Chains A and B, each alone.
Chain A
Amino acid sequence: MIETAFTPYQSLGGGALIGLAAVLLMASIGRIMGATGILAGLFQPANAADWSWRAAVLAGMMSGPVAVMLITGEMPAVQVPVSQTMLVIGGVIVGIGVTFGAGCTSGHGVCGMARLSPRSIIATLTFMLTTATTVYVIRHVIGA
């Protein structure tokens, strides 16, 4: 386990930027800023324009860490406290879950909750609960 510093100001500021991006995407093309939906749609686009907006937004997302490095001189920290096997298992499970659940932290947790969508509120409460339970079981019951 890795201890991480409490960063209320960076996290609040970063969160505000996530919200700003969600508002701007709605204002520009009327779409929900959901990472799952944007990514999955890239592989079965309705048409060329549908593919290109997704590709442009995803390219922008992936440029985020380099932009942060250019401003602060440091790449944002990515500390992975789990094995690569766990990343594969977790990744497949996340992929299945977000597809059936039709959204993840950004789509349900931010955009849907901000619209007071009952589906998104229930989805968010559900995954926050199962994530916390999983972390508790792995760290304190199994003791990995």
Chain B
Amino acid sequence: MRMIVLYLIGLVFGVGISISGMANPAKVLNFFDIAGTWDPSLAFVMGGALVVTFIGYHYILNRPAPFFSASFQLPTRRDLDLPLIGGSAVFGIGWGIAGFCPGGALPALGTGRLDVFIFIAALLAGIFVAKALQAVLVKRASAQA
């Protein structure tokens, strides 16, 4: 039952991404190309998603706990550090080059297109390299401490 519900939640996300245009790199890149073939559609994706999430979270997070789990697992950090800002800046460079972001590309895998599989394979490679690098940095930091 729990697995079916979680599958359906993923499906709602995947359908939303598919309808919105986030799975389409041409549309994503055109959103950022104000000086060229500009397509402002993605502002509506962000707007629709933010309004629903903002209102929904307000009600849900006032409950004592989620339905199928003991507690909410929310990020608690509020500090701004170099990995956050540098990593986000780097992410944007890659997004601008490829036109896919992870949330757009994962549902797009379902179209069976080779291009999407190539992007996801490269994305995973990047994630593994970064995780390995993070582990080295943490080890070095703890050795110095």
Contact = CB atoms under 8 A, between A and B. Distances in A.
B78 A61 contact: no
Given A8-B44, A61-B14, A86-B97, A28 B5 contact: yes
Contact of A119 (B84, B110, B123): B84
Interface residues of A, number: 112
Contacts of A45: none
B92 A97 contact: yes
Most chain A CB within a 10 A radius of its CB, from B7, B18, B60, B104:
B18
* Interface size class of chain B, counting residues whose CB lies under 8 Å from the partner chain: 35 or more
Most chain A CB within a 10 A radius of its CB, from B9, B25, B30, B44:
B9
A15 B116 contact: no
Contacts of B80: 118-119, 122
Contacts of A7: 21, 41, 44
B17 A82 contact: no
B16 A20 contact: yes
Interface of A: 1-8, 10-36, 39-40, 43-44, 52-53, 56-68, 75-82, 84, 86-106, 108-115, 117-119, 122-124, 126-136, 138-140
Considering the complex of A and B, which 5 residue pairs feature the smallest CB-CB distances, nearest first? A95-B126, A64-B14, A60-B10, A90-B98, A14-B20
